[in-house]
A and B are shown apart, each in its own frame.
Chain A
Amino acid sequence: MEAWIFFKRTVRMVFVGTKVYYLWCAFLLTIIGVAITFYVKQLDAGLIVTNMTDQVSWGLYIGNFTYLVGVAAAAVLLVIPAYIYHFDPIKEIVVLGELLAASAIIMALMFVFADLGRPDRFWHLIPVIGILSFPNSLLAWDVIVLNGYLVLNTIVPIYILIKTYFGKEPIKKLVIPLVLFSIPLAVGIHTVTAFLYNGLAARPFWNASILAPRFLASAFCSGPAMALIIFQILRKTAGLKIRNEALFKVAELMAYAMFINLFLLGAELFKEYYTATIHLAPMKYLFEGLHGHHSLVPWIWSAMAMNITAFLIFLIPGTRKNLITLNIGSLLIIVGVWIEKGLGLIVPGFIPDPLGEIYEYMPNINEIAISLGIWAFGLFIFTLFMRIAIPIQRGDFVHSKYGKVDIKRQYERIKP
Chain B
Amino acid sequence: MKMMSMGAMVALSLGSSSCTQVNVEEFLQKHFREMTEAEKKEVIRRLEETYLRKYGKKFRISTQPAESGALWGYGLDLSRCIGCRRCVYACVKENNQSRVNPQLQWIRVVRLKKGSLINLENAEHYYHPETVPEPGFMYLPVQCQHCENPPCVRVCPVQATWKEPDGIVVVDYNWCIGCRYCIAACPYKGRVFNWSEPNIPADELNTDVHYLGNRPRMKNVVEKCTFCVQRVRNGRYPACVEACPTGTRKFGNLLDPSSEIRYLIENKRVFRLKEDLNMEPKFYYFFSA
User: What residues make up the interface of A, taking CB atoms closer than 8 Å to B?
Assistant: 29, 32, 36, 39-40, 43-48, 52-54, 57-58, 112, 115-122, 124-125, 130-133, 136-140, 143, 196-197, 199-203, 278, 281, 291, 349-350, 352-357
Chain B residues with CB under 8 A of A39 = 12
Chain B residues with CB under 8 A of A355 = 108, 110, 120, 123, 125, 142, 188-189
Some 12 contacts from A to B, beta carbons below 8 A apart, are A40-B16, A48-B101, A115-B179, A117-B180, A117-B219, A124-B158, A124-B177, A137-B155, A143-B157, A201-B278, A355-B123, A356-B122
CA distance A117 to B118 in the complex (A): 33
Say if the beta carbon of B51 comes within 8 Å of chain A. Answer: no
Chain A residues with CB under 8 A of B191 = 54
Given the known A-B contacts A46-B195, A46-B219, are A357 and B125 also in contact in the complex, defined by CB atoms under 8 Å? yes
- Are A133 and B180 neighbours in the complex by a CB distance under 8 Å? no
Q: Please, which residue of chain B has its CB at the minimum distance from the CB of A143?
A: B157
Say if the beta carbon of B185 comes within 8 Å of chain A. Answer: yes
Residue of A36, A43, A120, A197 ringed by the most chain B CB atoms within 10 A: A120
Given the known A-B contacts A58-B180, A124-B177, are A130 and B16 also in contact in the complex, defined by CB atoms under 8 Å? no
Chain A residues with CB under 8 A of B121 = 278, 281, 291, 352, 356
CA distance A47 to B122 in the complex (A): 29
Give the distance to chain B from A381, nearest Cβ to Cβ, in Å: 11
- Are B123 and A57 neighbours in the complex by a CB distance under 8 Å? no
CA distance A344 to B73 in the complex (A): 39
Residue of B122, B156, B179, B279 ringed by the most chain A CB atoms within 10 A: B179
Chain A residues with CB under 8 A of B101 = 48
Given the known A-B contacts A124-B160, A140-B157, are A201 and B151 also in contact in the complex, defined by CB atoms under 8 Å? yes
CA distance A131 to B278 in the complex (A): 27
Given the known A-B contacts A40-B16, A44-B16, A355-B108, are A131 and B184 also in contact in the complex, defined by CB atoms under 8 Å? no
Q: Please, which residue of chain B has its CB at the minimum distance from the CB of A206?
A: B184
- Are A356 and B120 neighbours in the complex by a CB distance under 8 Å? yes
- Are A133 and B156 neighbours in the complex by a CB distance under 8 Å? yes
Given the known A-B contacts A140-B157, A357-B125, are A46 and B179 also in contact in the complex, defined by CB atoms under 8 Å? no
Give the distance to chain B from A279, nearest Cβ to Cβ, in Å: 10
Say if the beta carbon of B175 comes within 8 Å of chain A. Answer: yes
Chain A residues with CB under 8 A of B176 = 117-118, 121
Q: Mark B29-54, 1 if CB is under 8 A from A, else 0.
A: 00100000000000000000000000
Q: Please, which residue of chain A has its CB at the minimum distance from the CB of B29?
A: A121
- Are A132 and B157 neighbours in the complex by a CB distance under 8 Å? yes
- Are B1 and A29 neighbours in the complex by a CB distance under 8 Å? yes
B: interface residue count bin:
35 or more
- Are B184 and A278 neighbours in the complex by a CB distance under 8 Å? no
Chain B residues with CB under 8 A of A202 = 151, 184-187, 277
- Are A57 and B193 neighbours in the complex by a CB distance under 8 Å? yes
Given the known A-B contacts A202-B185, A278-B121, are A120 and B108 also in contact in the complex, defined by CB atoms under 8 Å? no
Within 8 A of A (CB), among B232-259: none
- Are B12 and A43 neighbours in the complex by a CB distance under 8 Å? yes
Given the known A-B contacts A117-B178, A117-B180, are A36 and B186 also in contact in the complex, defined by CB atoms under 8 Å? no
Chain A residues with CB under 8 A of B183 = 54, 57
Q: Please, which residue of chain A has its CB at the minimum distance from the CB of B125?
A: A357
CA distance A239 to B25 in the complex (A): 54
Give the distance to chain B from A341, nearest Cβ to Cβ, in Å: 17
CA distance A120 to B17 in the complex (A): 12
- Are A119 and B13 neighbours in the complex by a CB distance under 8 Å? yes
Given the known A-B contacts A57-B193, A139-B157, A356-B110, are A117 and B31 also in contact in the complex, defined by CB atoms under 8 Å? no
Q: Please, which residue of chain B has its CB at the minimum distance from the CB of A200?
A: B185
Say if the beta carbon of B154 comes within 8 Å of chain A. Answer: yes
Give the distance to chain A from B94, nearest Cβ to Cβ, in Å: 20
Given A29-B1, A137-B157, A291-B121; 10 other pairs, CB 8 A cutoff: A40-B16, A43-B15, A43-B16, A116-B178, A117-B179, A120-B27, A121-B176, A203-B184, A278-B119, A352-B120
Give the distance to chain A from B153, nearest Cβ to Cβ, in Å: 8
Say if the beta carbon of B64 comes within 8 Å of chain A. Answer: no
Chain B residues with CB under 8 A of A115 = 179-180
- Are A139 and B123 neighbours in the complex by a CB distance under 8 Å? no
Within 8 A of A (CB), among B208-223: 219-221
CA distance A73 to B274 in the complex (A): 36
Say if the beta carbon of B192 comes within 8 Å of chain A. Answer: yes
Chain B residues with CB under 8 A of A291 = 121
Say if the beta carbon of B95 comes within 8 Å of chain A. Answer: no
Chain A residues with CB under 8 A of B1 = 29
Give the distance to chain A from B251, nearest Cβ to Cβ, in Å: 22
Q: Which residue of the partner chain, among B184, B197, B221, contacts A58 with CB atoms under 8 Å?
A: B184
- Are A354 and B189 neighbours in the complex by a CB distance under 8 Å? yes
Q: Which residue of the partner chain, among B108, B125, B154, B220, contacts A118 with CB atoms under 8 Å?
A: B220
- Are A125 and B157 neighbours in the complex by a CB distance under 8 Å? yes
